[in-house]
Structure 1
């Protein structure tokens, strides 16, 4: 039996055990402890943002970000259909309504269609964007940076400014990605909009097992996120709560892992960049009908995932590739099922969705862990070649 090559697993060979042991020995294992504040400070320093709030998950972070953005019942939030469903579910938590937008060739939201939707399907009345079809107030945009790529933030920020929309960056897959040129040169994914959210799930580029982080250059928003994430305690000693809060704070054990992982983030990105180039040279230059998707030219990506794109659907099928790799002990996955087609969202509005179904049918994500060896990459490539 060949060695099993997983899709994306943690790399825990740094100071993780030392820091977690330290947290345990000091008996700070829950939602208090020095590693939480240290992790928040070090993430904020890395991203060059004002402040950060550690939370229980990326999903919890997005829920809080929507609340902080003023999203309420019967508001609308523009979201992509090509993303993991956790990017959209928090809109429903608030009894608001998602409006689904198509992707472009970066797999991120199509900003041309977003602009067209705002211009031709809505009215801007009293500083509010109103959807003509539903009569509802469009309050915010959730922009997802897919697979470590980066959405066109210059375009989305111009649209948001024109129509008084809040911008939440779902950067759960893009920690470490930043612009190399242009208006936002040097700016990291998650630091350009009003609020950015990251995830440290086990398959992300760095992990705390679970966990997430909210960042902003508006410190008042981050302080409110901390308040809401700790059950909205106005007087902790006397158990006084003036609002409904949430048990959304990260634990000190998770944060200890995170501090150790963040120390190695840039080295993880370097390894993933090299493996990405190996995949490109082994597939793009030698196989007709398949290619590794490019990242934007104007960014330094974190190379989180490596999407294999089927250019010849007569020759290759997504299901066949995934099955063949699985039969050879290699884990691969399709892109997510489009959210506007999922049962909980069938009654929500979608707009000009054309490219997302195309990419859904033609993408296979290949093993991409930061501890993936060059030999592992060559094994995957050899098996893909054997399919043809």
Structure 2
């Protein structure tokens, strides 16, 4: 099976050279727009391409407002600040995620509260969340959700759409509304993914995107905050050092952040966004080929959840056992076909080992079995 998989992947990418997990593709006007930015001399935090990138991304996602920032982690940090997450608060999230999700929580002086994932989405489980809250939380006289022991405020819920597959948003929204939690979507991996016809990152009070070099489209480094107009206006203010607009005076009315996306990066993003629909279709084609290849095998491909249309940012398979996972990883990487395991659970990392947590049976099961396969846009 492993040898045939290696041949299959090489056939998709038409090469006998090393195949990365996910490489950026520059087939459009990237060079033209970046050079235009250089010629304009507006290469830093002010420029026409920043404005255009924000407007185009708002249109693409259907979000009322989009605010560009320097990376996805900065977007997460700002989103949590906008949700009024503060020191000592708890933020519900999943243990099966990239570390940036939890790093941003720590930047606010808050701590993660880990709840299990669903196997079919790989994302935060509404059932597990409801179960934990019913057993361990209450709504106080001020309308805040707090732990029964210690009376700590649980301010927000931060699910991630893992590998571009949307979580069960309807059920999660219902739980968050009943328990007074602010829903923030970590949609860093799900640009181009839809839940019941609506783009991810637009269901919660705030959504977050990432344009890192390994994402479905890239600005080199970059992120985006999705929100309504009022929150978006505040996001723009906070991420531009909280400076009051003035022709020449420097006055900042609060602690702000220099999280602005440079115009140079935004130009690259504008050119990439023009090609995003084609990128998504290419990746969905590759996903269907993987699904057909694995039919009848003992490796289970990860497929988009019901009622969803995923961008299939990373394709993955679920192995029968940890031993099979390790054998697959060794065989493919030894052959120059990059594969990777899923992330180490956040609860295993020193920074979060003592965090509050519910039972994590599904997360532990997936951690031991998931392997990601080469998933870049196919050659033309």
User: Could you tell me how far apart the structure 2 residues matched to 1:115 and 1:359 are?
Assistant: 21
Which residue, 273, 291, 297 being the options, matches 2:300?
Answer: 291
Correspondences of 1:117-196 after superposition (within 5 Å): 117-126=132-141, 127-179=143-195, 185-196=196-207
Q: Normalised by the size of structure 1, how large is the TM-score?
A: 0.91
User: Could you tell me how far apart the structure 2 residues matched to 1:176 and 1:134 are?
Assistant: 41
User: Could you tell me how far apart the structure 2 residues matched to 1:235 and 1:38 are?
Assistant: 20
Structure 1 residue 2, shift from structure 2 partner: 3.5
Structure 2 counterpart of 1:386: none
Distance 1:339 1:372, change over 3 A: farther
Secondary structure in 1 matching 2:198: coil
User: Could you tell me how far apart the structure 1 residues matched to 2:291 and 2:132 are?
Assistant: 36
Secondary structure in 2 matching 1:317: helix
Correspondences of 1:278-357 after superposition (within 5 Å): 278-285=289-296, 287=297, 289-310=298-319, 312-313=320-321, 316-357=323-364
Structure 1 residue 133, shift from structure 2 partner: 2.8
Is 1:222 the equivalent of 2:232?
yes
Is 1:94 the equivalent of 2:111?
no
Contact preservation (8 Å) 1:43, 1:52:
yes
Contact preservation (8 Å) 1:2, 1:328:
no
Is 1:238 the equivalent of 2:244?
no
User: Could you tell me how far apart the structure 1 residues matched to 2:149 and 2:167 are?
Assistant: 27
User: Could you tell me how far apart the structure 1 residues matched to 2:123 and 2:112 are?
Assistant: 16
User: Could you tell me how far apart the structure 1 residues matched to 2:150 and 2:98 are?
Assistant: 25
Structure 1 residue 372, shift from structure 2 partner: 5.0
Structure 1 residue 284, shift from structure 2 partner: 2.4
Which residue, 22, 35, 38 being the options, matches 1:24?
Answer: 38
Q: Deviations over 1:142-174 (max 9, x none)?
A: 010000100111111111111211110000000
Which residue, 127, 131, 147 being the options, matches 1:116?
Answer: 131
Contact preservation (8 Å) 1:235, 1:241:
no
User: Could you tell me how far apart the structure 1 residues matched to 2:379 and 2:312 are?
Assistant: 13
User: Could you tell me how far apart the structure 1 residues matched to 2:155 and 2:64 are?
Assistant: 24
Which residue, 243, 264, 267 being the options, matches 2:275?
Answer: 264
Q: How many residues align?
A: 363
Contact preservation (8 Å) 1:11, 1:371:
no
Secondary structure in 1 matching 2:183: strand
Identify the range of structure 1 (31-40 vs 131-140) with the bigger mean alpha-carbon deviation: 131-140
Structure 2 counterpart of 1:248: 259
Contact preservation (8 Å) 2:197, 2:308:
no
Structure 1 residue 115, shift from structure 2 partner: 0.9
Q: Deviations over 1:97-116 (max 9, x none)?
A: 11011111110011101011
User: Could you tell me how far apart the structure 1 residues matched to 2:17 and 2:106 are?
Assistant: 42
Structure 1 residue 371, shift from structure 2 partner: 3.1
Is 1:53 the equivalent of 2:67?
yes
Q: Deviations over 1:156-195 (max 9, x none)?
A: 111111121111000000011112xxxxx32110001000
User: Could you tell me how far apart the structure 2 residues matched to 1:121 and 1:228 are?
Assistant: 34
Please list every run of 5 or more consecutive structure 2 residues that lacks an aligned counterpart in the other structure: 1-14
User: Could you tell me how far apart the structure 1 residues matched to 2:63 and 2:334 are?
Assistant: 46
RMSD over equivalenced CA pairs, Å: 1.3
Structure 1 residue 235, shift from structure 2 partner: 4.8
Correspondences of 1:61-80 after superposition (within 5 Å): 61-80=75-94
User: Could you tell me how far apart the structure 2 residues matched to 1:133 and 1:337 are?
Assistant: 29
